[in-house]
Structure 1
Amino acid sequence: MKLPSNDDFAFLLLTLSLCLAASFLLSVLWPTSSRKERKGLPPGPLYIPVLTPIFWLRRSLFDIEPILRRFRVEYGPVFTIRLTKRPAIFIADRGLAHDALVHSGATFADRPSDNQASRLINSNQHNISSATYGPFWRLLRRNLTSGIMHPSRVRLFGNSRRWVLDILFSRLRSRAEADGGVVVVMESFQYAMFCLLVLMCFGEKLDEKAIEDIEAVHRSLSASVVKSNVFSFFPKITKIVFRKLWKNIVAIRRRQEELFIPLIRARRKSNNQQQQQEDGSSVYSYVDSLLAVRLDEDNGRELTEAEMVSLCSEFLTGGTDTTATALQWIMAHLVREQHVQQKLFDEIKAAVGGAPGEEISEEDVQRMPYLKAVILEGLRRHPPGHFVVPHTVSKDVTLNGHLIPKGAMVNFTVAEMGWDEKVWVSPMEFRPERFMAGGEGEDVDITGSREIKMMPFGVGRRICPGLGIAMLHLQYFVANLVREFEWKPVEGEEVDLSEKEELTIMMKYPLRARITPRMATN
């Protein structure tokens, strides 16, 4: 994360530097409590009051990955970085991650307190990803998994997936015709996923302008979330120094409410579930399920409109950014490794025929093991997030002989676990065959319940509740894209796999490919 401007940073540095001498003096004169807190913690680099937070303030988790790898070698598989008074523990070993998230799952299932900006966005941590582990979180998660993510519900969106697939094909063809067969795919992937998730969320096929408005505020909010980490450090000061950023976040949230609340109210007004069948225009939606939620521990009250806005925002984020990002990475490898694309197309032809135009259905993809292997390899090699949302522990606990104190922020190095050379042969290569019979990933369990070999969706009680639908959407769209078009590199260009961080880990240089309708060549 970069600061908004050099002037802002200089001002912050000057302001905080005035406190530096006092901070050192206090740490020398009254060291007892801090030293007791440090006793037994995993090892880590020296913490210098004020200066250490400033050092990390200018960096995102993506930026510090090389530093974390060095710390892993220097300090071992569990180490501590002190950013504030609360230590941040990093676990960089898949066995220890399994001990924490599975064997001690309840203890590690809580979330740390958010900064003020994040609390504004998530309604004071009243969404699934940030809520404290307890009855409220269980209710929200159960509502999502049974109300909208249950396989019986997912099947009802079959016509919706077909509708979105047609939108995606139309956009790709239009862009290819305009640029001699060349497409830049990410924008089309994002828009298609957004169309699908907006329909699943609000139950209506909105017009293009409405979807673009929702997508625009979503993108603005996502960008602000990355920058909002600055408010975790010296909040009283940073809220003043970065007042423009704060005002911008407030304005974006207000705009989001202006767009979402009328849709929620319209759904409430016409909420007759007997008439909400899958007819192509109105379906049972996530909002429908939220309208029925009652908080027993809070006198049976309904969710507030602000809480529903936060939950809808979370739903769209979880289903669009991660899926579109993974889809682009997978298609990039199919363009780069033509033999993998051909092998996948051969499987598709054997299963459903090679003629384009007809949809490959949800039932069809279940008969394609190599397709699933391609998806798993894409998620292993390019997990959408290199770290899960931070956990915290509800009580003091010992892990690998070290104290993990109550309230400590705990991070897990997701990407590194999927690239472990002790598990994966040539882990940085893209080889779907490793997930086929005889490969090292043949029996991999991506839920991590037995052991952790990769954890793109997290592991344990906080595992992503959308795992099943994410896998379905990736298999569905990859299979249909490969049968409809032949994907080749643009002449004179190589597919660059460099990464950059936004809300997810994306391609630094968006994929450009030459597509040809299969009917012209097969």
Structure 2
Amino acid sequence: MEIWLILFLFFCLCAAFKSFLNLSPHNKAKQSKLSLPPGPPKLPIIGNLLWLYSSFNELELILHNLRQKYGPIITLHIGSQPAIFITTHSLAHQALVENGVAFADRPPATISGRIITTNQHNVTSAPYGPLWRVLRRNLISEILHHSRIKSFSHARKWVLQILKERLKSHVESGEPVLVVDHFQYAMFCLLVFMCFGEKLDEKVIREIEDVERTLLVNFRAFNVFGSFPLFGKIFFRKRLQQLFDMRQREESVIIPLIRARRERKEKNQENPNELFVSYVDSMFNLQLPEEGGRKLTEEEMVSLCSEFLNAGTDTTSTALQWIMANLVKNQQIQEKLYSEIEGVLGIDEEIKEEDLVKMPYLKAVVTEGLRLHPPAHFVLPHAVTEDIVLDGHVIPKNAMVNFMVSEMGRDPKVWKNPMEFNPERFLSDEGEMFDITGSREIKMMPFGAGRRICPGLGLAVLHLEYFVANLVRDFKWVAVEGVDVDLSEKLEFTIVMKNPLQAHISPRVK
């Protein structure tokens, strides 16, 4: 409380000084030209922060209510900077697709963000420009291109067997399965293999998983450095040191794996085909043209590996749990999906990845899961590169802009009975596939849209379809007697089930 009192008094002095500066004719003229989107009243310097502080976890509900009063674009002042939230499909399309270049930048990183991204040297946080293009192009061409994704089919099959063995232990014991831990571990095994090209021991995988989840789960504690960039370092030094310690531990785990991979790659120069391609391999000779053509440092490689592991693990395992929860809750949908799978495969025991394209209901189930339960209810913040007019308001240069993903996917003006899990809504009589990228129009955007759309979209959808199909094909999933499936939400790194899914599973009779 003493720290907050000191901060409050300091802010009052700053506010008085700022008000004096704003009396100049130049500043008055500058302000009169700009008309920010509307929002609730704010205090000088701290903006709406005190108003939001006690209920920051309910930001989505707050914005939903503010939309009724202020319209589809809302401005909140988090600290002294405007944060603009766009809530409708049409305005999201205007911003991210029609004005994609202007909205493609990222806000400057906070001190905590700079620590975990090595000064914004990863795909998600890099400013729009040469560095971002190099890093994104490398990720897509070397790992996420469809031919590369296909080459990891053996790894998906290996991980599926790991997951099945873990689930079979619950079949034998008769105990209900708490699925989230199994899903997270399976996804982590797969992404670790894709990242480092090795089937590592469970102990090593668990160590990597622990350091990454520690950063993810605790990172919200460092938001204070975004709200108070100047004073956070002074008043929250211990918290900042905790972040340095977590990052140092992450480097101590990841860097030896990078070095071991480099050594193995150098030893196999004469027989490069003996090694599986990995994401780390693509980093060794990557050059950064805007920085003199230098190569990546080991610390920057750690940031890229961390981004790859977390983006591919947590969001996918979260989405997988939501989909399976709805299949447990809606047995008729689960059985319809099982019938489609059996109709495609016949007596074949194995689901091949090429079989997935023959299963439109499977794709509809996955798409409906992403619509109703997007793992992230907001995208990563965008920043505009120039003042731009949207819906009669000016979005000022460098303002942080975000989009209400779940609000769009659940909008009753667009979706009939939006809170109902209904895959049939995605089955078109004309056989057209739903455009989840939003390039033609945005109705939902679980992967974002425009130039900063998640590059791992195709990989994520493949993983969801592959694992959902196999889990339903091999096991019947039912609710635990007396325990209803609770679809309440809770914010962690992603939006997870408040009460994680528990289910009884039994083998399908074949």
Report the TM-score when normalising by structure 2: 0.95
Post-superposition offset of 1:290: 1.1
- Is contact 2:474-2:507 (8 Å) kept? yes
Structure 2: 5+ residue stretches without partners = none
1:454 aligns with 2:454: no
1:184 aligns with 2:200: no
In structure 1, the residue matched to 2:303 is: 310
Correspondence for 2:50 among 46, 49, 54: 54
Distance verdict in 2 for CA 1:240–1:26, change over 3 Å: closer
Aligned residues: 503
1:207 aligns with 2:201: yes
Moved more, 13-22 or 422-431: 13-22
Moved more, 419-428 or 332-341: 419-428
In structure 1, the residue matched to 2:152 is: 157
In structure 1, the residue matched to 2:87 is: 92
Correspondence for 1:171 among 166, 169, 191: 166
Structure 2 CA distance, aligned partners of 1:263 and 1:338? 44
Matched residue SS, 1:190: helix
- Is contact 2:47-2:79 (8 Å) kept? no
In structure 1, the residue matched to 2:412 is: 421
- Is contact 2:381-2:402 (8 Å) kept? yes
Identity of aligned residues (%): 55
RMSD across aligned C-alpha pairs, in angstroms? 1.9
In structure 2, the residue matched to 1:253 is: 247
Paired residues for 1:117-156 under 5 Å: 117-156=112-151
Moved more, 152-161 or 184-193: 152-161
- Is contact 2:368-2:426 (8 Å) kept? yes
1:345 aligns with 2:338: yes
In structure 1, the residue matched to 2:227 is: 233
Superposed CA offset, 1:433-488 (max 9, x none): 0000259x965311110000110000000000000010000000000000110000
In structure 1, the residue matched to 2:9 is: 18
AA aligned to 2:100 is G
Post-superposition offset of 1:175: 3.6
In structure 2, the residue matched to 1:104 is: 99
Report the TM-score when normalising by structure 1: 0.93
Superposed CA offset, 1:282-322 (max 9, x none): 41000001112111222221111011000000000110000
Moved more, 416-425 or 227-236: 227-236
In structure 2, the residue matched to 1:486 is: 476
Matched residue SS, 2:38: coil
Structure 2 CA distance, aligned partners of 1:223 and 1:296? 34
AA aligned to 1:183 is V
AA aligned to 2:286 is V
Superposed CA offset, 1:71-98 (max 9, x none): 1111111111111222111111111110
AA aligned to 2:52 is W
Structure 1 CA distance, aligned partners of 2:276 and 2:477? 34
- Is contact 1:117-1:249 (8 Å) kept? yes
AA aligned to 2:264 is S
Moved more, 34-43 or 122-131: 34-43
Post-superposition offset of 1:252: 1.1
Moved more, 262-271 or 402-411: 262-271
Distance verdict in 2 for CA 1:414–1:327, change over 3 Å: same
- Is contact 1:435-1:442 (8 Å) kept? no
- Is contact 2:130-2:289 (8 Å) kept? no
In structure 2, the residue matched to 1:42 is: 37
Matched residue SS, 1:148: helix
Structure 1: 5+ residue stretches without partners = 1-9
- Is contact 1:273-1:284 (8 Å) kept? no
Moved more, 112-121 or 239-248: 239-248
- Is contact 1:117-1:228 (8 Å) kept? yes
